[in-house]
Amino acid sequence: MSDHYEVLNVERTATTAEIKSAYRRLVRQVHPDQGGNAALFRLVQEAWTTLGDPAKRAAYDRTLDGQTSTPTYEEPTYTPRPEPEPEPEPAPDPFTWTQTQTSSQQQAPSQPPLAGSIEVLPPFGRWKIPALVSLVVWSLLIIGVFLSSGIHDTWDIVLAVGIVGMIVVAMPPHWSRRIPLRGVIKAFGILIGIGFLVVLFPSSKSGITALERVAIIGLLVGLVLVRFLTGRWSKVHKLDRAIDATATYDFNLWGRPGEPLVDDGRTAWIAPADVLRHRRTARLLDSVVEALPASKLVHGARIGDMAVSHLLLNGHRVALISSVVGPPGHYTLDVYGALQLNGVPLDSPVSGLDSAVAAWRKRLDPVEVRGFLVVHPPVDGQGGITAALGSEAAITCLPAQTAASQLQAWLQPEGLLLDRLTLYDILHRAPYV
């Protein structure tokens, strides 16, 4: 039988709030609708059903205690002698392994989570009201002008079909593309519009009055204006569907650690050991996302063929994050951007991260983009790793013990701001450049 605490990756001493937070984080990652594993999803649901109910959790804890307990016997009562005072422990050497605090304690950001409502840019439904009002008013005007002249011959019927075509031209593209034979209808409408334009020339000898000339000019100018407004609305409508209210307020995670965001065969294969390292970093980043409600975490984000392990977006700041596993020591980046351990060069993904930072800076300008290299110890919870953080360099080296708090400190000044255009570009456009 699987241990429910291990499934949710929490300690037995975890509070109900911590268990609920772990469950909500995991269920987003393993839900079958998001490409997760159905069997693991059932395990997560079962673990939450048990641990989320205080009575069921108490019974489950007693079951675990019964599995691990050993036969006991009563000892005779005696008066214990006072134990000597323990000697103070020496301060740990920062360059040797020391078992300090638990992994979850190390990864918890030191700053309090942000509270309040998320500010969304651009707002939902922009251009919708002006586009609809102008389309309705212009359509009524052109239909009214046509009906006022009456239908007398075949030319008037042709003109009526052309006016319908002009209305289709004025519609927002996400409406007009649903109309059968829209290409033919729109082409006929454009021809009628050109015909209206031709009769305005004095050489046409159309014999129209000055009032009719003003009406035709007004209708043609109105067509251009309405088409501009409906085109703007259609573009925002596409953004509203891709980054909707759920993605804006409730969903903070895209992709899975160690897997490409877009699996089209253009991303290099990732070794199992690297997948595990990516998952360790992802667990560390979860606490940052929880503390910053407007932040978005994208695993395997890609710009063209160039992938990055993790991308954190908050407001107009983007953190590109990669990681390594290394022995204890002091990690720095030399003047050429290469990783060093105690002054000795090491192989690392810094060069790839540096190229990714340059590409994303060019892509997302004027969004501030910065790279972070997280150094993990071989075993979570062990210390001995220090790093020269830096402040102005394109890449900053972070020890895993303080990486979450450092990342939160860098992203938090953006507050509760979400730029939906930037998120849309990261998710839906940059992978295909």
Q: What is the pLDDT of residue 283?
A: 92
In a domain, 92, yes or no: no
Q: Tell me: the pLDDT tens digits for 381-406?
A: 777 788 876 556 788 889 998 999 99
Residue 239's identity, in one-letter code, is L
Domain count, the chain: 3
Rounded-to-integer distance, Cα 269 and Cα 252, Å: 26
Q: For residues 121 and 414, is the Cβ–Cβ distance under 8 A?
A: no
Give pLDDT, residue 36.
64
**296 and 233, same structural domain?**
no
pLDDT mean across residues, the chain: 82
Same domain, yes or no: 401 and 256:
yes
The pTM is what? 0.66
> Is 331 found in the same domain as 231?
no
What is d(CA 156, CA 149) in angstroms, rounded to the nearest whole number? 9
278 shares a domain with 238? no
**Torsion-angle region of residue 38: left (phi > 0), alpha (psi -120 to 50) or beta?**
alpha
Alpha carbon distance 370, 228 (integer Å)? 37
Strands 253-254 and 296-299: parallel
Displacement of CA 259 from its chain's centroid (Å): 15
Same domain, 221 and 352: no
Tell me what pLDDT residue 209 has: 79
Same domain as 281, residue 198: no
CATH code, 59 = 1.10.287.110
Q: Are residues 215 and 310 in the same domain?
A: no
Single out the residue in 19, 48, 67 at which a domain terminates. 67
- Residue 259 falls within a domain, yes or no? yes
What pLDDT sits at residue 102? Answer: 33
Cα distance between residue 311 and residue 290, in whole Å: 15
Q: Are residues 195 and 278 in the same domain?
A: no
- Do 400 and 284 form a contact (C-beta atoms < 8 A)? yes
Residues of the domain holding 213: 128-242
Residue 303, in any domain of the structure = yes
Question: Is the domain of 180 the same as that of 266?
Answer: no
Q: How far is CA 286 from the centre of its chain?
A: 13
Q: Is there a domain that residue 423 lies in?
A: yes
Q: Are 270 and 418 in a shared domain?
A: yes
Domain presence at residue 119: no
pLDDT value of residue 104: 38
Closest to 375 in 3D by CA, of 364, 386, 391? 386
Do 180 and 287 lie in a common domain?
no
Boundary (domain end) residue, out of 242, 274, 304 = 242
Sign of torsion over alpha carbons 412, 414, 418, 420: negative
Q: CA 282, CA 256: separation in Å to the nearest integer?
A: 9
For residues 212 and 136, membership in a common domain is answered with yes
Q: Mark the ranges of the chain whose per-residue pLDDT is less than 70.
A: 1-2, 31-39, 67-115, 203-207, 267, 389-392
Question: Does 103 reside within a domain?
Answer: no
Tokens (6 digits) for 242: 């891709």
pLDDT value for 204: 62
